[in-house]
Structure 1
Amino acid sequence: MHSTLVRTQNVFGFFTTVAFVVAALIAASDIVASRTPKASVVVKDVSVVMGRANYYAKKKEEFANIRFSMSADLSSLFTWNTKQVFVYVSASWPNSTSSEPSNEAVIWDTIITNPSADHLQNIGPAAMKKLKRSAKGKPIDPSRGKIELKNQKPKYQVSVPSGKIAHTNDVVLEVHYNVQPWVGVLTWTPQIEFLGWKKMKGGVSKVFSLPAVKVKKDSTKKN
């Protein structure tokens, strides 16, 4: 006869094995679900201004502001195992030498939750109430993956360590995402197609250049 402790250990071991197998099956189910994201992004306005990186910075440096419009359909990323989707737009341009990786800076981002994860959103009570009301009775709401932005102001300005970014050429905007599941691994925008997971269709703007530093107009009136 086994002691109570041994029996407890056996039951606990069986429980953890079952839990691990179920978790593995849930994580594997994401591979079966197809992902066909698509997006388009268009640059609307570009300017370069002088400013300080923070309150204590002694020197001014150049910052690029890039306004854009974006239309994205990421609804296929939302399944019953999706916790939230992180979407961001980055500006990238080649480095001075081909041996170095290209430069990249995020200019806008957002987090889209499934209804089951709305409580994780860091928003005010009124916005939270509206969010929950919009998805009442829906465990999954793929419509949240449809994004329409018109002449969107960037959340973040673009700068470089040298402090000089004006006249930068071959800049493009690109839409990225990563999916955080309830169970499984965090997945990023795929660079190759695997089973039902397709690469992002579109999501890259036309090549553009950053202009010269914007000069403030003299507002003084002539006598």
Structure 2
Amino acid sequence: MYSSLVRLQNTFGFFTTVAFVIAAFIAASDFASPRAPSVATLKTTSLQVVRGRPHYYSSKKEEYAIIKFSLDANLSSLFTWNTKQVFVYVTAEWPSSGAEGNATNQAVIWDTIITAPSADHLSNLGPASLKKLRKSAAGKSIDPSRGLISLKNQKPKYQITHPSGKIAETQDVRLRLHYNVQPWVGVLAWNQNVDYGRWKRLKGDLSKKFALPALKTKAATTGAAGTGTKA
């Protein structure tokens, strides 16, 4: 005859198995939901390269780039009843020089976290903003409008630097939009390069190539302001 401890272990094991099976079904249900994210606009609006300390903790001066951009994207199909939040970020990418090998340089210039209505309580927002967000999401398990991103002349959160300390006049730079879907149950899903069943690749995620400008110096600024002729 089984002891009380053995019966308790068997009961716990049974419920653990049931919970695991249910969680597996929930995670698998994501593959049945179509995903077709797209980007209508991703372009730069302002480029600047200066020399200084890009961060307050920087120990030396170096060149860094400030890239302002505009973005219009529709990521609403990433939100399902199992979506906890979507992490969205924009990177600047450019090929390495011959001395650096074949690697591609990549730096994040902007990011944001978009929560689903069921995860609003996890948002790092103030009481007033959180109250407004909860009010707009009342009764909704999915809010597709949160996946609509429209940014005009957006300032970057982070400046671009390079280990060499030089970045001015870098050629063939591109902006790229990335996303990371974090579900309540299941694995993290990153933006994909190919179609996978009902999950489609992110279209329009790359901007046109551009070159970073020459280093902006005080001497150049003063010279430009002082040019002119006397009547």
- State if a TM-score over 0.5 links the two structures: yes
Give the Cα separation in 1 of the matches to 2:58 and 2:115. Answer: 37
Give the Cα separation in 2 of the matches to 1:168 and 1:53. Answer: 18
Q: Deviations over 1:175-205 (max 9, x none)?
A: 1000000000111111221110110011211
Q: Deviations over 1:14-44 (max 9, x none)?
A: 1000000000000111111111000130111
The letter of the residue matching 2:200 is K
Whether 1:108 and 2:110 are equivalent positions in the alignment is: yes
**Corresponding residue for residue 176 of structure 1:** 178
Secondary structure in 2 aligned to 1:207?
coil
Whether 1:90 and 2:91 are equivalent positions in the alignment is: yes
Report the alpha carbon displacement of residue 120 of structure 1 after superposing the two structures with TM. Answer: 0.8
Report the alpha carbon displacement of residue 215 of structure 1 after superposing the two structures with TM. Answer: 2.2
- Provide the alpha-carbon RMSD of the alignment: 1.7
**Corresponding residue for residue 12 of structure 2:** 12
Whether 1:27 and 2:30 are equivalent positions in the alignment is: no
**Corresponding residue for residue 119 of structure 1:** 121
1:143-154 to 2 correspondences below 5 Å: 143-154=145-156
Report the alpha carbon displacement of residue 99 of structure 1 after superposing the two structures with TM. Answer: 4.3
Give the Cα separation in 2 of the matches to 1:32 and 1:101. Answer: 36
Aligned residue pairs: how many? Answer: 221
Give the Cα separation in 1 of the matches to 2:105 and 2:153. Answer: 24
Indicate how the Cα distance of structure 1 residues 75 and 57 shifts in structure 2: closer, same or farther if over 3 A, else same.
closer
Give the Cα separation in 2 of the matches to 1:22 and 1:56. Answer: 48
**Corresponding residue for residue 157 of structure 1:** 159
User: Relative to total residues, which structure has the larger helix share, 1 or 2?
Assistant: 2
Give the Cα separation in 2 of the matches to 1:182 and 1:56. Answer: 36
Report the alpha carbon displacement of residue 111 of structure 1 after superposing the two structures with TM. Answer: 0.2
Aligned-residue identity in percent: 62
Indicate how the Cα distance of structure 1 residues 179 and 161 shifts in structure 2: closer, same or farther if over 3 A, else same.
same
Report the alpha carbon displacement of residue 218 of structure 1 after superposing the two structures with TM. Answer: 3.6
Indicate how the Cα distance of structure 1 residues 213 and 183 shifts in structure 2: closer, same or farther if over 3 A, else same.
same
Report the alpha carbon displacement of residue 100 of structure 1 after superposing the two structures with TM. Answer: 2.5
**Corresponding residue for residue 188 of structure 1:** 190
Secondary structure in 2 aligned to 1:13?
helix
**Corresponding residue for residue 166 of structure 1:** 168
TM-score, normalised by the number of residues in structure 1: 0.94
Native 8 Å contact 2:52 2:61 kept in 1: yes
Report the alpha carbon displacement of residue 10 of structure 1 after superposing the two structures with TM. Answer: 1.1
